[in-house]
């Protein structure tokens, strides 16, 4: 029996070291997007911890770090062909923490506490809106236009809150001062669950002929961010929001029919019918 087993072992094909290395490499590649997602979750957790300690200048940038990491994990998954249902669900759970729970707690600790129950109710509204927004995105991601998001993206909504806190870390101390903060958290929350279209920059043309202007803009943005980070972050966060509202208003005005044209058409039809 022992001889037969030894013969069978000799007949079996041996695993090459290169095959084992390839399998290990593939496993590492599959884990890479999830590692970035874990980093996204850590940024949200760190923001909550520092916000509870009242260190708002330290807490707010972690939401910005989470936005960057969240952009990277999806792109890496698509580039390496490692997208999976687990990755999609894991990313959504991390986003709820980083772009729902973390900005809500940060804003409440920063400027909603003077409002009492109204303040924490507004924070919960933002959290619920972020959860609904992410759930809707998961079921509509394969059907809607890739150039636009339906509703304000949760990272952009969280960026509005984080940029404001980072620019004005002193926060609101009285009931009157907290009222603008209430609008600041409710408006992005409602926009997340709206049907308004927000531009997605996933289809930007970054071909070789455009590389020099793009590099120049990146250098200009980095220099501005290093010189005045508070101002630049506020301008970017609110600029995206204001630009979308202005674009939506412009499209509605263009689609609205001209009453003078309808009146002229009605007169022309009456004249023709009278003849």
> Can you list the positions of beta strands (E) in the chain?
148-150, 197-199
pLDDT at 122: 95
pLDDT at 13: 54
pLDDT at 253: 81
For residues 149 and 205, what is the distance between their CA atoms, to the nearest angstrom?
18
pLDDT at 171: 87
For residues 261 and 237, what is the distance between their CA atoms, to the nearest angstrom?
40
Per-domain residue ranges of the chain: 27-208
Tens of pLDDT, residue by residue, the chain (275 residues): 555 555 555 555 555 555 545 555 455 456 788 888 999 999 999 999 999 999 999 999 999 999 999 888 877 877 777 777 788 888 889 999 999 999 999 999 999 999 999 998 999 999 999 999 998 888 876 656 667 788 899 999 999 999 999 999 998 889 999 999 999 999 999 999 998 888 776 655 555 556 677 778 778 888 887 888 888 889 989 988 888 888 878 877 877 654 444 444 444 455 434 44
pLDDT at 81: 76
Return the CATH class of domain 27-208.
mainly alpha
Q: What share of the chain is helix, strand, coil (3-state, %, to 5)?
A: 80, 0, 15
For residues 147 and 134, what is the distance between their CA atoms, to the nearest angstrom?
17
């Amino acid at each position: 029996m022992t001889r037969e087993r030894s013969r069978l072992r000799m007949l079996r094909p041996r695993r090459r070291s290169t095959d084992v290395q390839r399998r290990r490499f593939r496993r590492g590649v599959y884990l890479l997007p999830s590692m970035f997602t874990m980093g996204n979750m850590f940024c949200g957790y760190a923001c909550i911890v520092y916000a509870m300690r009242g260190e708002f200048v330290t807490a707010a940038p972690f939401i910005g770090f989470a936005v960057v990491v969240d952009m990277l994990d999806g792109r890496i998954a698509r580039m390496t062909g490692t997208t999976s249902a687990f990755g999609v669900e894991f990313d959504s759970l991390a986003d709820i923490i980083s772009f729902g729970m973390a900005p809500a707690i940060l804003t409440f600790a920063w400027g909603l506490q003077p409002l009492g129950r109204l303040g924490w109710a507004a924070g919960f509204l933002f959290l619920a809106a972020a959860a609904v927004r992410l759930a809707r995105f998961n079921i509509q991601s394969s059907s809607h236009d890739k150039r636009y998001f339906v509703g304000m993206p949760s990272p952009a909504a969280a960026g509005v809150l984080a940029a404001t806190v980072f620019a004005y870390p002193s926060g609101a101390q009285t009931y009157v001062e907290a009222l603008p903060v209430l609008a600041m958290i409710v408006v992005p929350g409602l926009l997340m669950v709206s049907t308004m279209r927000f531009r997605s920059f996933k289809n930007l043309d970054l071909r070789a002929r455009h590389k020099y202007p793009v590099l120049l803009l990146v250098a200009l943005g980095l220099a501005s961010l290093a010189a005045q980070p508070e101002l630049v972050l506020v301008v970017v966060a609110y600029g995206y929001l204001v630009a979308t509202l202005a674009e939506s208003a412009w499209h509605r005005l263009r689609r609205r029919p001209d009453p003078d044209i309808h009146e002229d058409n009605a007169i022309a039809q009456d004249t023709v019918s009278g003849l």
